[in-house]
Amino acid sequence: MNVLELINFGSAKLKSHDIKSFKIDSEILLSNVLGKRREEILIKLDQNISRKLVLKFNDLIHRRSLKEPVAYIIKEKEFWSKKFEVNKNTLIPRPETELLIEYLVNIYKNKNIHLLDIGTGTGCILISLLSELQKSTGIGMDISSNAISIAKINAKKHNIQNRVKFLTKSFSDLFNRKFELIVSNPPYIERRNIKKLDDDIKNYEPVIALDGGNDGLDVIKKVIYKAKNILKINGKLALEIGNEQYKQVSKILIKNNFRIEHIIKDYKDNIRCIISTLNI
């Protein structure tokens, strides 16, 4: 079989299993099998593929047909024009989070800050920020040792390991540190709604990184309470939140002496990030 035949075969199988991104997923999985960029394989559609690689491709298509995310299958996800290693112990980086990176880079460019990433996962937020803020340093925290292992790999891959430290512990155990910026993409899904999530999320991504408790705000509240004690005066807290959580979260922030400075909407016009400043 050649490249075009395999792409069409994979696309048809994924489409029959209600995978909306059937064509691009088929192309990405084939490019992974061939060890080439997607653009490269698309300009050589008549290239014949060995039986061994065809069988490998079929296996990946089968896994995707079961709703396993492409990022977990190929063990990487592109974010901020960088490739991050991912596995089942880490959330898959989302494109909306890049909007947060863009805003923060504009604020802190050419400044020397010390920042904290709570629930760092793959380290994609912290690593992307430090890759742009080259005078700055940071700490990434996560209670998952497996996630921290992945974050360390990604930091080395993107050559910022000398400006970052990763800790496997709860942020509530952090004392005697002060930061100019705290960022966090905490769990914010209401527990009862986890079963309503798409299969590729609820069946594969780590529940610990999704479950925000009964109201979805358990961890968000803890982050806010902790942040006010470890932020420097006029330090900023950048929080990702769930859909329709803005009013509740902003009230908690204001009650804890934070001033709402900026909101970031996702591509569907939902408020997904709140940037707030700790009042003097």
What is the residue-level pLDDT of the chain in tens, covering all 280 positions? 999 999 999 999 999 999 999 999 999 999 999 999 999 999 999 999 999 999 999 999 999 999 999 999 999 999 999 999 999 999 999 999 999 999 999 999 989 999 999 999 999 999 999 999 999 999 999 999 999 999 999 999 999 999 999 999 988 888 778 999 999 999 999 999 999 999 999 999 999 999 999 999 999 999 999 999 999 989 999 999 998 899 999 999 999 999 999 999 988 899 999 999 998 6
- How far CA 272 is from CA of 42, 150, 220, 238, 267, in Å, comes to 35, 25, 13, 11, 10
Q: Are residues 108 and 239 in the same domain?
A: yes
11 and 129 assigned to the same domain: no
Residue 172: the pLDDT is 84
**Domain of 29?**
3-66
Do 141 and 34 fall into the same domain?
Answer: no
Q: Does any domain span residue 150? A: yes
Same-domain pairing of 103 and 146: yes
Buried b (16+ CB within 10 A) or exposed e, 132-152: ebeebebbbbbebeebbbbbb
Whether residue 110 is contained in a domain is answered as yes
Are 270 and 221 members of one domain? yes
117 forms beta bridges with 140, 183
Total domains, the chain: 2
Q: What is the pLDDT of residues 116-155, one digit of tens each?
A: 999 999 999 999 999 999 999 999 999 999 999 999 999 9
96 and 49 part of one domain = no
User: Based on the domain organization, do 28 and 141 belong to the same domain?
Assistant: no
Rounded to 5 degrees, φ, ψ at 90 are -130, 145
Considering the domain architecture, whether residues 159 and 222 belong to the same structural domain is answered as yes
Domain termination site, one of 66, 92, 121: 66
Shared domain for 138 and 9, answered yes or no, is no
Residue 71 lies in a domain: no
- Dig out the tokens for 80 from the structure: 């901020």
pLDDT at 159: 96
Q: Three-state SS for 142?
A: strand
Q: Are residues 57 and 125 in the same domain?
A: no
**Residue-level pLDDT at 183:** 98
Closest CA to 29 of 47, 9, 43: 9
